Amino acid sequence: MSTLENKVCIVTGAASGIGKAIATRYAEDGAKVVIADLKIDAARKAAEEINAKTKGEAMAVEMDVTDEDMVNAGVQKVAATWGRIDVLVSNAGVQIVHKVEDFPFAEWKKLLAIHLDGAFLTSKAVIPHMKRQGGGAILFMGSVHSKEASALKAPYVTAKHGLLGLARVIAKEGGEHGIRTNVICPGFVKTPLVEKQIPEQAQDLGISEDEVISKVMLGETVDTEFTTVEDIAAVAHFFAAFPSNALTGQSLVASHGWYMN
C-alpha cells in the first residue's frame, strides 16, 4: 500500500465532521491537505489544528461547492501553491428532512446542488490537473442512502444514488489517464449533520430522540453502534492511496452491517 506522503489532497466540507477527520488522517501520513469549506473561519481553525498536530501541511480555502467560479478559483489556488492535485474528496454535504409533499422545492434544489453540482464541479476542475500528471484519485462521499432509502430524505437519497452514477462515468473516462473514482457509503456517524436530525426526526415521526437513534438510525446495524469519523477516514485513506486502476468505479459501505451487498 502506498502512502500519501507529499500528495496534494483537496477535501471539501473539511471544516467539520467526516471531512475534517479525512484531512487529518491524510496529513498524519504526510499529505498536503486543502480544507475547502463554505465556513472559512472553521476551515482555518481546522487547518491550524492539523498543522500543529501532524507531519503534513494544511491550507484553508473558502469554497462554496455549488459556485463554479469559486470552485475553479480554489482549485487554481491549490495548483499554483502546491503545483499538483493528487486526490479530491468531494465530501461537503447537508441534510434536510421533510416528507415529499411538504418538501419546499427550493430546499430540494439546494440539497441536490450541494451534493451533485458540488461533486461535478470539483471533479471537472481537478481532472485536467490529474490528466497532466498521469493520474489521481477522486472520492465521493456517498452514504448507505446511495443504496437504500429512508422516509423524509427524498433529495438526499436521490443525490447519494446519483453520485454512484457520476463516479462510474468518471471512472470510465479517467481509466486511460490513471484517474480512479470511488464512493464511500457510511452508515450513521455522529457529526453535527446527524446531531441536527435527531430532534427533527423525533418531531416529524412522533417518537422520542432515543428511539430515533436506536430504531431509525441504528436499528439495522449488527450491534447498534454508530460508525465513527475515524472509520470513514481509514476507508478514505485506503481508496486514496490504492496504487492502481484495479479499484475504480466501486462503492464501499462502512456502516456496522446496515445494508449488506
Q: Which residues bind ligand NAD (CB under 6 A)?
A: 12-13, 15-19, 37-39, 63-66, 91-94, 114, 141, 143, 186, 188-189, 191-194
Cα separation, 21 vs 104, in Å, equals 32
Taking the complex as a whole, the smallest distance from the CB of residue 15 to ligand NAD amounts, in Å, to 4
131 vs 196, beta carbon nearer ligand NAD? 196
Are the CB atoms for 92 and 38 separated by under 8 Å? yes
Residues sharing a CB contact under 8 Å with residue 114, sequence separation 6 or more, in sequence order: 65, 66, 92, 93, 94
Taking the complex as a whole, the smallest distance from the CB of residue 132 to ligand NAD amounts, in Å, to 25
Taking the complex as a whole, the smallest distance from the CB of residue 111 to ligand NAD amounts, in Å, to 9
Residue 98, Ramachandran bin (φ over 0: left; ψ between -120 and 50: alpha; else beta): beta
143 vs 221, beta carbon nearer ligand NAD? 143
Residue 246: exposure state from Cβ atoms within 10 A (0-12, 13-18, ≥19): exposed
Taking the complex as a whole, the smallest distance from the CB of residue 188 to ligand NAD amounts, in Å, to 4
Half-sphere exposure of 9 (CA within 13 A, CB side): 36
39 vs 77, beta carbon nearer ligand NAD? 39
Taking the complex as a whole, the smallest distance from the CB of residue 196 to ligand NAD amounts, in Å, to 8
Task: Say which residue the cell 491524510 belongs to.
Answer: 26
Cα separation, 5 vs 71, in Å, equals 25
Written as one string, the DSSP assignment of 159-194 is: HHHHHHHHHHHHHHHHGGGTEEEEEEEE--B-SHHH
| Residue 156 annotated as catalytic | yes
Catalytic residue among 82, 140, 156, 226: 156
91 vs 182, beta carbon nearer ligand NAD? 91
12 vs 123, beta carbon nearer ligand NAD? 12
Cα separation, 92 vs 114, in Å, equals 7
Which residues belong to the active site?
Answer: 156
